[in-house]
Amino acid sequence: MKTLLFLFLLLPLISSGFAADTVPYFYLTPTDAAKILGQSALLTLKSEKQERDALKYRCAFTAVESDPVSGETGHVYYNYEQYRSVAAAQKTYTGILDDNRRNGNIQLLNNTGDEGFFQSDSNNFQLIMVRKKDKIIRMKVNKVTSTTSLTALKETVNRIAATL
């Protein structure tokens, strides 16, 4: 019976394209999302897709209430991508960085993965993207509110990047 229970608990990890120690959903937890958004949050999106060049995982959490100051509802989006090679990850990262530079407000990050950047328009979004070896993570807050914590966003990204 214990074996059956073990297999039942392990099956979702086996059927996933991710090894048990790298399941990205567990990198961004509801607790992390709540710290970033400054209030409780619900998982509103979760997807995994094997594409030609990468295994891609996405999830999103949405604040349970709108901000009392702005009336906006905050969201935090998390993307994890594992490429077939470091070169493919570098190419994707560089392409996105170059595209985002056209919009300005890019701050390159030191000591976070192999390379990374932060971008914000101060009012609507905060984005951090990090590449480490053949992996890329992106975390973005949409609808920055009076309760959004940039410190929690940075701490969460740094913690995740350290595990890649």
Give a yes or no: residue 14 inside a domain.
no
> Residue 128's domain spans which residues?
22-163
User: Which residues have a Cβ under 8 Å from the Cβ of 8 and sit 6 or more positions away?
Assistant: none
Q: What is the CATH number of the domain that holds 94?
A: 3.40.1000.70
Q: Which of 28-32, 34-38, 47-51, 55-59 has the highest mean pLDDT?
A: 34-38
Q: How many domains does the chain have?
A: 1
Give a yes or no: residue 83 inside a domain.
yes
Question: Alpha-carbon distance 144 to 142, whole Å?
Answer: 6
**pLDDT score of 8:** 35
Give a yes or no: residue 70 inside a domain.
yes
Give a yes or no: residue 146 inside a domain.
yes
Give a yes or no: residue 4 inside a domain.
no
Give a yes or no: residue 75 inside a domain.
yes
Q: Predicted confidence band at 26 (pLDDT cuts at 50, 70, 90)? A: low
Q: Predicted confidence band at 24 (pLDDT cuts at 50, 70, 90)? A: low
The pair of three-digit structure tokens given for residue 59, joined into one six-digit string: 């999830």
Nearest residue to 78 (alpha-carbon basis) of 38, 117, 130, 40: 130
Q: What is the mean pLDDT of the chain?
A: 85
Taking residues 58-85, report their average pLDDT: 95
**pLDDT score of 150:** 95
Token pair 């959004």 is found at: 148
Q: Each residue of 129-159: pLDDT tens digit?
A: 999 999 999 999 999 999 999 999 999 999 9
Give a yes or no: residue 15 inside a domain.
no
The pair of three-digit structure tokens given for residue 57, joined into one six-digit string: 């995982």
